[in-house]
């Protein structure tokens, strides 16, 4: 019997999807109560948070995947760099094999087959941020230990806490919450929300990256002055063949027959961007989020890719696929960046809040 995907259950597709969703509701209710209890313990000071020696900007969301947290972290890091501030990004490093805190420095980034060992220790998204974007990244389940490791290796002015909204063990000066295409409000496992939708009130600023009309009906009007709108935009196509970095214009997608290869939570954004550039997706291969590609996966990709012009992956997937041989410039990643409407105002507000919170702490 074919198993249902989480998205089919959350969307109540068909009889089985609707029945499964209904049966999961009691578990979701219990889950929400436990999460709210945990949040209350932190708010009351019964569970302690650690203050890092540098200001912290938390970037997070309410749901599982799909809101653009990593591109937003990279956008903030680049904007702060242009304002003369050095940044360290703190990440948990999902599905990594090491347990100790690890630091990736920009100069350690390479695209050779030897980077597999480093990626297994750090995780795919931290490796992408260091290798493709030149960021300093501290990785560890204990984000305070990761921050200490960063400061032992280099000096930074600000930490960005990637996927930090639920990581309340670290105090933050700024909470930026991303709101994406999921707006239903149902918590896990009957829905995609990791905590109650009303908890957006805990955030200092909101960044709506999808479903803007839906969120405008849900959010109270008094949050309008701290709510911004952003979206992912394609930048270029990236090839890392033979360990060399090479970029191509997006016009290469036009009328090309394309096989997509993804190991992400929600690949629909990639499909949308390819279609916007009139690329023809003839087949899709969807692997689990943070998937580690093996030789059998490469064989499956090569078989499916024989009759297409391009094999298009995400940026974090291409770093894991580059160790396998592909035809020259056939495997590419679609590079994306976060674009924020009136982004300078959001950055100004973030920087001002950091200054204010530091002044209050010293006073």
pLDDT in the model for residue 190 = 97
Instruction: Tell me whether residue 326 is in a domain.
Output: yes
* Residue 114 in this model has a pLDDT that exceeds 50: no
259, 201: one domain:
no
118, 224: one domain:
yes
Rounded CA separation 144/105 (Å): 18
* Residue 115 in this model has a pLDDT that exceeds 70: no
Instruction: Tell me whether residue 145 is in a domain.
Output: yes
189, 125: one domain:
yes
**Does residue 196 sit in helix, strand or coil?**
coil
Quick one: which H or E segment has residue 327? Answer: none
CATH number, residue 295: 3.40.50
Sign of dihedral through CA atoms 165, 169, 170, 172?
A: positive
Instruction: Tell me whether residue 51 is in a domain.
Output: no
Instruction: Tell me whether residue 65 is in a domain.
Output: yes
Nearest to 158 by CA among 141, 172, 139: 172
- What band does 265 get if pLDDT is binned at 50, 70 and 90? confident
Instruction: Tell me whether residue 22 is in a domain.
Output: yes
The DSSP annotation for 30-50 comes to HHHHHHHHHHHHHHTTSS--B
Tokens of 305: 């890719």
Per-residue pLDDT of 68-91, as tens digits, reads: 999 999 999 999 999 999 999 999
- What band does 359 get if pLDDT is binned at 50, 70 and 90? low
Rounded CA separation 176/61 (Å): 8
> What is the domain count for the chain?
3
358, 222: one domain:
yes
Per-residue pLDDT of 271-296, as tens digits, reads: 999 999 999 999 999 999 889 999 99
Q: What is the CA radius of gyration of the chain?
A: 21
Instruction: Tell me whether residue 350 is in a domain.
Output: yes
97, 35: one domain:
no
Name the residue range of residue 272's domain.
Answer: 233-338
pLDDT in the model for residue 278 = 97
* Residue 117 in this model has a pLDDT that exceeds 60: no
> Considering the entire predicted model, what is its pTM?
0.93
CA end-to-end span of the chain, whole Å?
Answer: 64
313, 200: one domain:
no
120, 226: one domain:
yes
Per-residue pLDDT of 175-221, as tens digits, reads: 999 999 999 999 999 999 999 999 999 999 999 999 999 999 999 99
Nearest to 171 by CA among 4, 49, 330: 49
266, 353: one domain:
no
pLDDT in the model for residue 133 = 94
Instruction: Tell me whether residue 89 is in a domain.
Output: yes
- What band does 362 get if pLDDT is binned at 50, 70 and 90? low
213, 109: one domain:
yes
260, 136: one domain:
no
* Residue 141 in this model has a pLDDT that exceeds 70: yes
């Amino acid at each position: 019997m074919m198993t249902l995907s989480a998205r089919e259950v959350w969307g109540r597709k068909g009889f089985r999807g609707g029945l499964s969703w209904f049966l999961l509701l009691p578990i979701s209710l219990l889950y929400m109560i436990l999460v709210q209890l945990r949040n209350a313990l932190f708010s009351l000071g019964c569970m302690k948070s650690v203050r890092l020696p540098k200001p912290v900007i938390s970037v997070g969301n309410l749901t599982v995947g799909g809101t653009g947290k990593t591109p937003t972290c990279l956008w903030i890091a680049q904007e702060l760099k242009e304002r003369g501030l050095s940044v360290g990004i703190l990440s948990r490093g999902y599905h990594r094999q090491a347990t100790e805190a690890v630091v990736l420095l920009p100069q350690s980034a390479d695209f050779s087959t030897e980077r597999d060992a480093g990626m297994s220790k750090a995780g795919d998204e931290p490796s992408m941020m260091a290798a493709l974007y030149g960021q300093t990244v501290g990785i560890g389940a204990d984000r305070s230990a990761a921050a200490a490791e960063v400061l032992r290796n280099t000096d930074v002015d600000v930490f960005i806490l990637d996927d930090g909204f639920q990581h309340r063990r670290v105090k933050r000066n700024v909470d930026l919450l991303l709101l994406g295409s999921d707006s239903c409000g149902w918590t896990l496992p009957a829905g995609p929300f990791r905590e109650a939708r009303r908890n957006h009130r805990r955030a200092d600023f909101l960044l709506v990256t999808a479903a803007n009309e839906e969120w405008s009906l849900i959010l109270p009007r008094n949050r309008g002055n701290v709510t911004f709108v952003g979206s992912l935009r394609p930048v270029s196509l990236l090839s890392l063949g033979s360990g060399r970095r090479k970029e191509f214009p997006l016009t290469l997608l036009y009328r090309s027959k394309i096989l997509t290869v993804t190991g992400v939570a929600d690949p629909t954004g990639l499909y949308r961007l390819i279609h916007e550039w009139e690329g023809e997706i003839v087949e899709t291969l969807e692997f689990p989020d943070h998937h580690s590609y093996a030789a059998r996966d490469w064989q499956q990709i090569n078989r499916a890719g024989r009759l297409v012009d391009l094999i298009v992956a995400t940026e974090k997937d291409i770093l894991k696929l580059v160790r396998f041989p592909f035809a020259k410039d056939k495997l590419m990643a679609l590079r994306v960046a976060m674009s924020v409407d009136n982004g300078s105002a959001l950055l100004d507000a973030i920087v001002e809040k950091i200054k204010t919170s530091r002044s209050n702490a010293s006073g």
